[in-house]
Structure 1
Amino acid sequence: MTTNAIDIPGYKPGTWVLDASHSEVGFSVRHMMISKVRGAFGMKSATLIAPENPLEAKVEAHVDATTLDTKDEGRDAHLRSGDFFDVENHPTIDFVSTGVRIEGGDFLVDGDLTIRGTTKPVTFEFDFGGFGNDPYGNYKAGASAKTVINREDFGLVWNAALETGGVLVGKDVTITLDLQGALQAA
């Protein structure tokens, strides 16, 4: 590793690709200002180019917005509509990293998140689950990550006022990633 590199036990440089069947993008948002609604998207693809120094890594990820699932078909249809994600015109949610850093002991990945055609900078806080070989000889890595965005910054502005005061849908959305990737053979 280079002089400015960090030590992550089990880390191997190379190209890592997403194992979509073991990965998920989740979200939660306030509903009626009293509870949270949770949902998930299917991952379409993700690639991590990992050099010797993990702080020089590059990530590109794509989420299939059409797979949105909150366990309520009517709500899902509304969220896929032009009022929210407009999946007919914007079928993916995209992330491209712009930097990796450690701050206060936290492993942070900065990047540009694109939702509904609007791109804004975000920072994900990562937690590594570890590395290991699966039963088929593939070297795998697991991680989780989290960030909070203001949905209105991305053009997701639909809302409804409540008779009791407040609004139906909160502005802040917590995005959670549960990821597994495989190191590609050289």
Structure 2
Amino acid sequence: MTIDIPGYRPGTYVIDPSHSEVGFSVRHMMISKVKGTFHVIEGVIEAPENPLDAKVSAKAETASINTKDEGRDQHLRSADFFDAEQFPEITFVSTGVRHEGDEFHVDGDLTIHGVTKNVTFELEFGGFGTDPWGNYKAAVTGSTKIDREEFGLTWNAALETGGVLVGKDVTITVDLQGALQA
């Protein structure tokens, strides 16, 4: 099955880190959410004639985490969480693209903390266009939810009022803009 996407051009799109972001949110103290980003990302989207045959590979550096609190960021980089020294990257490699109704899904292998699990990102196309310098660009937003403990991120602290400091479910959101290579 081939699908028509207005503006779609086959080729290799290189992710532009200055116009892309990998973000996450997780429950804090069971009452609010903490959000963060990874600033250093890179990746490639191989877009063949049939968009359903596309392949994605991307990575983020764990040491680039930013939650707007340097003390928390240092803790997240430590062996209690990401262990950025031993596991410097989070990676995603797609294994398939599906189109169901009006929705696109990208299945793939997500590796965090040395553990690889199959996940599905729900995609929303931002569109396609040419920037003022003649570069053809594509943009997508995707999200998935994971259980951080399945990736070996198990540190937590019990609260006096009941519950725990850090929730298990983490929502990962990617906003990617890529430039078509000549």
Asked if 1:80 corresponds to 2:69, the answer is no
Alignment pair present for 1:6 and 2:3: yes
Task: Give 1:65's aligned amino acid.
Answer: T
TM-score by length of 1: 0.96
8 Å contact 2:45–2:56 — kept in the other structure?
Answer: yes
- Counterpart of 1:141 in structure 2 is 138
CA distance in 2, matches of 1:15, 1:43: 20
Cα RMSD (Å) = 0.7
- 1:62 aligned counterpart, secondary structure: strand
Which residue does the alignment assign to 1:167?
164
User: TM-score by structure 2 length?
Assistant: 0.98
Paired residue total: 182
Which ranges of structure 1 fall in alignment gaps of 5 or more residues? none
> Residue 143 of structure 1: CA displacement?
1.1
Aligned residues of 1:150 and 1:172 also touching (Cα < 8 A) = yes
How many Å apart are 1:84 and its aligned residue? Answer: 0.3
Aligned residues of 2:24 and 2:170 also touching (Cα < 8 A):
yes
The alpha carbon displacement at 1:173 in A equals: 0.2
Deviates more, 1:36-45 or 1:141-150: 36-45
Task: Find runs of 4+ consecutive structure 1 residues off by over 2 angstroms.
Answer: none
| Letter matched to residue 141 of structure 1 | A
Deviation at residue 103 of structure 1 after TM alignment: 2.1
Does the 8 A contact of 1:17 with 1:181 survive in 2?
yes
Aligned counterparts, 1:96-115, within 5 A: 96-115=93-112
Unaligned runs of 5+ in 2: none
**Identity among equivalent pairs (%):** 70
